[in-house]
Structure 1
Amino acid sequence: LAVVSAHLQDAVVRKGDIAWLPAEQRFALALRRFDWEGAERGQKRRRLAALHFERVTSARSVKIEPGAKDAVFSLLAVTFAEAQSPAGEVTLHFSDGAAIRLGVECIEAQMKDLGPIWEAAATPAHPDPG
């Protein structure tokens, strides 16, 4: 999950591109991820990607308004906190303290790049915490 989180750091997510399918125990979202591999070669690019989790038993959001489908969030990290092994909680951490918490039976996730890559206006930057 740490590798997935690293690839998705600073991905842009539109609320309308997030889906919780409780009957299928699936949570999915489409993201516009920054291409960190290209950044190492001086390229500023983004690409469309999909991320989904299976065996999801619950989904809760923090600081995400229910109706605002066009609201945009920046994904900072994806983490896992174990409860009763192998179950636990996957948290998608977004900018401004927003988050989505998924109760999972175990970690079953897949990330896939979709479609073409395009030039980005800038490389994401983070303030120095020190």
Structure 2
Amino acid sequence: MSNISNDVRPKVADVVARYADYCDHAEWEKAAGLFTDDGVFDAQAIFGQIVQGRPALAEFMSTRPAAVAHHPTTFYVDAVKDDEYHVRMKMLVLFHGALSSIDYQWTMTQIGDEMQIRRQEIAMVGRVTNKASR
């Protein structure tokens, strides 16, 4: 069971929704803006890279394979410290001819009234392709 205050989960849910929407519409600066200034995107498991800082994050995200849609399915939040939270999320990402299941792990921090991603790590759980895309 989670050990968070009642106001944290809706703030995290807002970041989850915005992240998926910004990625779906190629709004990379906005997506990077969901991270802290020195935020880290650890994509080592899928893309072999770790990227840090908003400008580098926006550039990195803009060069990834184009997805048709990101569909966050579930997430949960656990408090680590007073202003730090761990978030585990499952995302289904639809590509032309493929569907991927991705695990997201976020370390988030509350800055003022906003939740921001301090670190994001992604890992592929599975991928299904149709015959035409092989």
Tell me, yes or no, whether TM beats 0.5.
Answer: no
Normalization by structure 2: what TM-score? 0.35
What is the TM-score of this pair, normalised by structure 1? 0.36
Relative to total residues, which structure has the larger helix share, 1 or 2?
2
Structure possessing the higher relative contact order (Cα contacts under 8 Å, 6 or more residues apart): 1
